[in-house]
Amino acid sequence: MIEQTLAIIKPDGVARNLIGEIIHRIETSGLKIQAMKMVQLSVKQAEGFYAVHRDKPFFPSLTSFMSEGPVVLMILSGENAIQKWRDLMGATDPAKAVPGTIRREFGQSIERNTTHGSDAPETAAFETAYFFGGMERL
């Protein structure tokens, strides 16, 4: 099934000049970058994006991290794009991620794990609409 998913290169990835490396991995995987922009999120914007985690103990730290510097936001599309991008990223905790995955190779901690990817069709719909307008999501 052709899907869309939201990918983010988080502030730790942008700060360490990993944009090209990560985009190279996306493109060689066969996924298409359908829309892309670089922005610095406000704390409020990060809080809105991660609202499902608002009751978690790491919420203040996570939203502060996500707004500390620019991020790259992308809509990726392709066959099974949601799972495919999560497989390229690896597990949330870089220490537990499969060798060769982005988070295993570049993640610094369970929080500073370099990339984000939607985890289901419903979250992909919410997350792509959170950051991109209708024209970019066609």
Enzyme catalytic residues: 116
Written as one string, the DSSP assignment of 66-90 is HTSS-EEEEEEEEETHHHHHHHHH-
Contact set for ligand GDP, span 40-99 (CB under 6 A): 58, 61-62, 92
Confirm or reject binding of residue 104 to ligand GDP (CB under 6 A): no
Q: Which residues pair with 9 in a beta bridge?
A: 72, 115
The number of residues that bind ligand GDP (CB under 6 A) is: 9
Q: Which residues pair with 39 in a beta bridge?
A: 71
Nearer to ligand GDP, 57 or 134 (CB): 57
Nearer to ligand GDP, 8 or 35 (CB): 8
The site string for ligand GDP over 106-135 (x = CB under 6 A, - otherwise) reads: ----xx-x--x--x----------------
Can you give the binding site for ligand GDP, defined by CB under 6 A? 58, 61-62, 92, 110-111, 113, 116, 119
